[in-house]
Chains A and B, each alone.
Chain A
Amino acid sequence: MSFRKYLVLAGVTLFSAVGDTLLARGMKETGSISLQHLSSIFLVVLHPGVALGIFFLFAFFACYLTALSWADLTYVLPATSLSYVLVALVARFWLHENVSLSRWLGVVLISLGVGFVTQGPALTHKPRAAGSHSSAEPAVTEAQQ
């Protein structure tokens, strides 16, 4: 794992936490969406907070796809779950929601899970899948990056 790859994983964590928080804040200001007025869920993207949240989630998505191109799904997903630790902190100190002791314990367990996974290898070694483009690429080793 190169430094650049850790940066990508950090981007996954940070952007999804910021994006989710902005979305939640925007949705609370917009109010409840009723099943009778389904069209309002498409108009909600015009709210500035929601729009900015969506922008951050796009950044998250780019980092997420990049990470998936060189790591297993079961490696990248725990990294994304680190964002709940950030979300809990933001929910407590910015949105002023009540975060109970048991929720904090949940946050700790998730962090432990992420810690375990990142100790292991990032990618399962197996023969190249049929239809893969990557076999045609010039080999670039970790050292060259």
Chain B
Amino acid sequence: MSQIYAWCAVAVIVLMSTAGDVLLSRAMKQVGHVGQVWRSRGLFVVIGRTLANPNFLLGVAAMATAFYSLLFGLSWGDMSLVVPASASLTFVASAVAAKLFLHEHVDRRRWLAALLVAVGVVLLAR
């Protein structure tokens, strides 16, 4: 029974962290290269820009939901199941989301990586 709870937690984690990843990636591209902005304008400008970014705030909200689902999942299942299963499935979902929403160039190399990680997840979940 706790296995079903654990997998439900995994589903919520995947959905929420994919949304969070896409939003955070978009936010940080708008903030700019952290190292360069830090050197030219200072650390507080980096932090200020990041915290004031709407995409960042939405992304953090999605990540927080995913994080609390992870706490539930970890109390119900083995960590070597819940942690890799949820976060690696997130990797595959995020590759699709990155192509669709961020228009990243996901070449053959990156799809192959997504496939390898997906198979790796199935093996980890056994």
CA distance A105 to B69 in the complex (A): 27
The distance from the CB of B66 to the nearest CB of chain A, in whole angstroms, is 12
Contacting residue for A23 out of B2, B24, B40, B74, CB 8 A: B74
Contacts A74-B94, A132-B29; A30 near B34 (Cβ below 8 A): no
User: What interface size band does chain A fall in?
Assistant: 35 or more
Asked if A36 is at the interface (CB within 8 A of a chain B CB), the reply is no
From A57, A65, A110, B116 is in contact (CB under 8 Å) with: A110
| B32 at interface by CB-CB < 8 Å | yes
User: Given A81-B88, A133-B30 in contact, is the A116-B94 Cβ separation under 8 Å?
Assistant: no
Query: How near does chain B come to A9, taking the closest CB pair, in angstroms?
Result: 13
The number of chain B residues touching the other chain, given as a range, is: 35 or more
Q: By CB atoms of chain A within 10 A, which of B2, B40, B113 has the most?
A: B113
Quote the shortest CB–CB distance from B6 to chain A (angstroms). 11
A75 (CB) vs chain B CBs: closest residue: B110
Nearest CB of A to B111, in Å: 9
Pick from B36, B76, B99, B126: contact of A137, CB under 8 Å: B36
Q: Interface readout for B88-108 with A: 1 if CB under 8 Å, 0 if not?
A: 101100110011001111110
B110 touches A134 (CB 8 A): no
Does A124 interact with chain B (Cβ within 8 Å)? yes
Is A81 a contact of B87 with CB atoms below 8 Å?
A: yes
Residues of A participating in the B interface, judged by any CB pair closer than 8 Å: 4, 20-21, 23-24, 27-28, 30-33, 41, 44, 57, 64-66, 68-70, 72-78, 80-81, 84, 87-88, 91, 95, 97, 99-100, 102-103, 105-110, 112-114, 116-117, 119-120, 124, 126, 129, 131-134, 137-138, 140, 145
